[in-house]
Amino acid sequence: MNISNVKKLIKLFEQSNITELSYADEEFKLTLKYTTTEEIPPKPDATGKKSDDSAKSESSHNETESNLKAIKSPMVGTFYRAPSPGAKPFVEVGKTVNKGDTLCIIEAMKIMNEIEAEFPCMIRKINIENAQKVEYGTVLFLVEPL
């Protein structure tokens, strides 16, 4: 299977509702799985309300980050903050970026995928360390839209 076909297969997988796909032939084997590292929200108690502790923590979380948006990984791979080892990172906390600016690179299957800003924003938090593995949906950055 050539790389073009692999990319098409990944795109179809991302657009579908399935959570796992395996493909194999004599020369090639591919397995795609959706996993998430997102925090599971607290369950309501018997009355249907959230516990006081979870409500307080959610309230304080919302007060400090209500205006922030998460930029999530669109794929499984390795997160890189810079274009090459020793190079200056694409972004730092406090930096303002425009739509289309590169935020990071995610390496997947030896392909370097640039992750770009979808809107003008200010970087408020970088959640992932350089060269760390990420899953689909991992929050990479918290940003403040401008």
**Residue 89: which CATH number?**
2.40.50.100
Q: Are 130 and 80 within one domain?
A: yes
Q: Has residue 52 been placed in a domain?
A: no
Q: Is residue 48 part of a domain?
A: no
Give 10 or 52, the one with higher predicted confidence: 10
* 145 DSSP 8-state letter: E
The answer to whether residues 90 and 82 touch, using CB atoms and an 8 Å cutoff, is yes
Residue 93 lies in a domain: yes
Claim to verify: residue 21 and residue 80 sit in the same structural domain: no
22 and 77 inside one domain: no
Residue 137 lies in a domain: yes
Per residue in 72-127, pLDDT (tens digit) is 999 999 999 999 989 999 999 999 999 999 999 999 988 999 999 999 999 999 99
Cα-Cα-Cα-Cα torsion 119, 122, 127, 131, nearest 10 degrees, comes to: 80
The pLDDT of residue 59 is: 42
41 within 8 A of 31, measured Cβ to Cβ: no
Number of domains, the chain: 2
- In-domain check, residue 57: no
**Which domain, by its residues, includes 5?**
1-34
Whether 23 shows a pLDDT value over 50: the answer reads: yes
H-type alpha helices, the chain? 3-15, 52-65
Instruction: Round to whole Å and give the CA distance between 115 and 73.
Output: 8
pTM here?
0.57
Residues 29 and 79 in one domain: no
- Looking at the fold, whether 146 and 83 belong to one and the same domain comes out as yes
Nearest CA to 136 out of 84, 79, 94, 77 is that of: 77
In a domain, 99, yes or no: yes
> DSSP 3-state assignment of 61?
helix
Q: Is residue 60 part of a domain?
A: no
Considering the domain architecture, whether residues 146 and 105 belong to the same structural domain is answered as: yes
Residues in Cβ contact with 34 at an 8 Å cutoff, skipping those fewer than 6 apart: 19, 20, 136, 137
Residue 126 CA to residue 140 CA, distance in Å, equals 6
**Residue 1 in domain:** yes
Range 47-60 average pLDDT: 47
Residue 4's pLDDT is what?
79
